Amino acid sequence: MTQNHKPRPRPSDLARARSGLWLYGLHAVRAALSNPRRKVLRAVLSERVARELGPRLLAQVRYEIAPPDAFDRLLPKGSVHQGAALNCEPLERRSLDDVLVDSPARRLVLVLDQIADPHNTGAILRSAAAFSVAAVVVQDRHSAPESGALAKAASGALDLVPYVEVVNIARALDALGDRGFFRIALAGDGDAALRDCVSDRDIALVLGSEGSGIRRLVREHCDQIAHIPISSQMESLNVSNAAAIALYEVRR
């Protein structure tokens, strides 16, 4: 059993906490308002969105009705806000000990090795929510931080699936192995098809960046290197697509 060390805040966490983090998009805003762990500072909504969210979700938050051009002044250029924006504090960082409660059902964890694109990470979080993943684990450097773009791509899943930032991915895999997780690295040169590696054990699926893949040291802390069989016409899959296929394969 690993010791429960409280994660250290990064300077970027502190800066965002002081200025507030803007989330946008209807699904991201609804999920944040429904999350008791999320501290909301201010909501800016269109009349239509305020009616759609309803008085129950809005009862405990200070919100204002705003015209379309107000969102353009608050949010990054090109943000697809759908008339919903939320200024809030970043979620409190959590550890594996916080989120991996014992369960009679098989647990599934995703480990992302330096996947920095917020759109890919957000799409992976969305699939993780769809397949009841217990946690998504990332390194606290060279990974997508909590942001409006990440939350929008995740379509609410950022507030549904624990997003665990760790200092060292290899040590996190050791901790998962100590808990009985079978650790599978997903790579094109894997020596077994993923479907043949699935068992009744708790599983940690490891995915790497599209450029360099999973780092050597991280691979060495896995029990199996597996691949998703695809046509020879394509070299590889987008990492978020690979994550969705892999989750379906191990959950069915």
Cα distances (Å, whole numbers) of residue 181 to 169, 177, 203, 248: 15, 5, 5, 18
Asked if the structure places residue 62 within a domain, the reply is yes
Verdict on whether the full-model pTM lies above 0.85: yes
Q: How far apart are CA 81 and CA 27, in angstroms?
A: 10
Residues 84 and 104 in one domain: no
User: Is 108 within 8 Å of 206 (Cβ atoms)?
Assistant: no
Q: Among 40, 60, 88, which residue terminates a domain?
A: 88
Asked if the structure places residue 3 within a domain, the reply is no
Structure tokens at 19: 């200025």
Residues 138 and 64 in one domain: no
Structure tokens at 242: 């690979």
Q: How far apart are CA 224 and CA 119, in angstroms?
A: 28
**Domain membership of residue 46 as a residue range:** 21-88
Task: Identify the CATH number of the domain in which residue 58 sits.
Answer: 3.30.1330
Residues 226 and 110 in one domain: yes
Residues 148 and 170 in one domain: yes
Q: Following CA atoms 162, 168, 171, 172 in sequence, which dihedral angle do they give, to the nearest 10 degrees?
A: 10
Residues 236 and 130 in one domain: yes
Cα distances (Å, whole numbers) of residue 8 to 25, 92, 97, 148, 183: 29, 10, 15, 22, 26
Look at residue 161 and give its three-state secondary structure: coil
Q: How far apart are CA 19 and CA 29, in angstroms?
A: 18
Side-chain-facing half-sphere of 6: CA atoms under 13 Å: 2
Asked if the structure places residue 6 within a domain, the reply is no
pLDDT score at 243 = 96
Structure tokens at 150: 């990440």
Q: How far apart are CA 242 and CA 23, in angstroms?
A: 26
Length of the chain in residues, anyone?
252
Residues 52 and 36 in one domain: yes
Neighbouring residues of 60: CB distance < 8 A, sequence distance ≥ 6: 40
What DSSP assignment string belongs to 88-105?
EPPPPP--HHHH----SS
Regions of the chain short of the pLDDT cut 50: 1-18
Beta bridge partners of 109: 135, 204
User: Is 95 within 8 Å of 7 (Cβ atoms)?
Assistant: yes
pLDDT score at 206 = 97
Look at residue 165 and give its three-state secondary structure: strand
Look at residue 47 and give its three-state secondary structure: helix
Q: Which amino acid is at 215?
A: R
Q: Which amino acid is at 150?
A: L
Domain count, the chain: 2
pLDDT score at 5 = 40
